[in-house]
Chains A and B, each alone.
Chain A
Amino acid sequence: MPEKPSRFRDPTKQSMLLTALYIAQEQYGYLSEEAMERTAARLGLTLKDVYSTASFYTMFRTQPLGKYVIQVCEGLSCFLVGGAERLVDYISRKLNIQPGQTTPDGLFTLQTVQCLASCGTSPTLKVNDELYEDMTPDKVDRLLDQLAGR
């Protein structure tokens, strides 16, 4: 049996960290210091351990975002069929925010993301956990109206 390096002692608790961070993010809306402290306490980790992991992954956020987070794929295959920045610009003008920003009513945040593994049905974007494929400006109009409850 190969000798176990010491860093592999007590692996199971830290293994739950990503899951725990998802739960904390869901409860607090984002990973506030309090959320990370509570996660650390629950798993018997230090705040440094938790922060070190949380800060590595783009899906963990350390500030509040809009109710609907719109993530537009800026990958090559999306660009080739009229997506990427063309779609970003369209949404940007429509919502009057730049990528990275949130509308003043807190409803929408606009972000760009890397390839969403839907290149055969691109252009693609995600709203929260939902994937939208073959997007056109028309479809974006309808989607945003629907989300805004109009």
Chain B
Amino acid sequence: MPFERILLRNVDVPNSEKIGTYLERGGYQALRKALQEYTPDELIEIVKASKLRGRGGAGFPAGLKWGFMPKGDVTKYVCVNTDEGEPGTFKDRLLVERDPHQVIEGTIIASYAVGAHRAFVYIRGEFFMGVKRWIKAIADAYDHGFLGKNILGSGFDLDLSVHRGAGAYICGEETAMLNSLEGKRGEPRLKPPFPAQVGLYGQPTLVHNVETLANVPHIVLRGPEWYASIGTEQSTGPKIFCISGHVKRRGNYELPLGTPLRKIIFEHAGGMRDDRPLKAVIPGGASTPVLTPEYLDITMDFESLAKAGSMLGTGAIIVLDESTCMVDVARRLTKFFAHESCGRCTPCRVGTQRMLEILNRIEYGQGQEGDIDLLLSLCEGIAGRTFCPMGDAAVNPTLSTIKHFRDEYEYHIKHKRCPAA
């Protein structure tokens, strides 16, 4: 039986972005239930019991994060991370463009649970349609009494507004996003303190990814037991997998966490384009280490991918067939990180540039003896030594392609050319 779509249940309905459509399809009932039947603390317990984990890349337990927010009469904020920029990822844009009310409903419930009366959407500057959809949806939510003062007669107030970024991948990192919301350069802040302690304007702040928040209304409406029954023991619920690259049917597929990679590629995505053999898979977005075909039977959940030396990341699966040059893949992804380094710390700023120079020369047949070791030592000098986690991300394409495809690097250097070119 095909999996019943939960997060994407509305996206193919005509006018799915409209509040009327959302209401017709049962929207905002979870909010009513949350406000009328549960105390904020009960909601935190419900989300803990659902074992929902963050969908922004790190997989941190959402209920735990809600619980970290201080109680009592302190000014607190909630931020909705719509900065989606991890190469290969295109799920948040879909959710925001086609079903913004689902995310708004989750945001209101989260704000009520942690006691925030002000929430912000931070959206990537490039998402012009998304900005328009957010603005319209928020205005309609106000008109229906789901936002503003005394929401649905509960006495709970919440204001929500949209802030548009202006082109910087690093602003997806939560503390960089807070700086950007404050009108500053989007450079990360040192953690700790974590945003739940010292966040926006120095106040406790709950930051969530769009997809994470989209899960919340369903958890409230159908209960944490139902939710936790989907997926695996440690990775519960549905996940939107973004599939791109050399498959027949690219796109977003909502499936339970723990679905085998083979099934996603060969059943849902229709198999390899032109039926060419598969060479490698990037399982969770540009910053996750590549996997080889031996890993095809892996289940797509946080724990299995960690065990395989990679990460679930954003669930963005990039499929590569045998015609792909793995040095070129590393080079392209490193170019991304070098371009997007915020420049604040030297290992990331200079290190990624040096890596790119070396990867370029290897790819173009000018690699030198010792370049592989040089790359490895650069990676060592970057990972774990940068101000924010971007440094760890930036070395993954190179480290993992050297690990699995070292012979390709050696071929380039020895024969002074790319075998694929």
Contacts and interface: CB of A to CB of B under 8 A. Distances in A.
A8 B127 CA distance: 29
Interface residues of B, number: 59
Q: Is the interface of B mostly helix, strand, loop or mixed?
A: loop
Given A8-B201, A17-B183, A53-B184, A58 B166 contact: yes
Interface in B165-208: 165-169, 180-187, 193, 197-198, 201-204
B10 interface: no
A117 B90 contact: yes
Contact of B202 (A8, A118, A121, A129): A8
Nearest to B126: A116
B45 to A, nearest CB: 25
B1 interface: no
Interface stretch (A73-81, A90-98, A136-144): A73-81
Nearest to B246: A80
A122 B244 contact: yes
Contact of A5 (B186, B202, B252): B202
A59 B126 contact: yes
Contacts of B242: 119-120
A130 B132 CA distance: 12
A80 B74 CA distance: 50
Given A118-B90, A119-B250, A130 B316 contact: no
A119 B89 contact: yes
A76 B166 contact: no
Interface in B129-182: 129, 163-169, 180-182
B90 A76 contact: no
B87 to A, nearest CB: 4
Contacts of B88: 75-77, 115, 119
Nearest to B250: A120
B380 interface: no
A18 B333 contact: no
Contacts of B243: 120
B125 A57 contact: yes
Interface residues of A, number: 43
B381 interface: no
Contacts of B180: 18
A57 B186 contact: yes
Contacts of B201: 4, 8, 11
Contacts of B117: none
Contact of A121 (B74, B129, B184, B250): B250
Nearest to B343: A56
Interface in B210-248: 242-246
Contacts of A21: 166
A8 B204 CA distance: 13
Interface of A: 1-2, 4-5, 8, 11, 13-19, 21-22, 52-53, 56-60, 74-77, 79-81, 113-122, 126, 129-131
17 contacts: A4-B202, A13-B183, A15-B163, A16-B183, A53-B184, A57-B168, A57-B186, A58-B166, A58-B167, A76-B88, A76-B332, A80-B318, A80-B324, A120-B90, A120-B242, A120-B250, A121-B251
Interface of B: 74, 84-90, 92-93, 124-129, 163-169, 180-187, 193, 197-198, 201-204, 242-246, 250-252, 286, 316, 318, 320, 324, 329, 332-333, 335-336, 339-340, 342
Given A4-B201, A131-B128, 19 more contacts: A2-B202, A8-B201, A8-B202, A18-B180, A19-B164, A52-B185, A60-B167, A75-B336, A76-B87, A79-B332, A80-B245, A80-B324, A81-B245, A115-B85, A117-B92, A119-B318, A120-B244, A120-B250, A120-B252
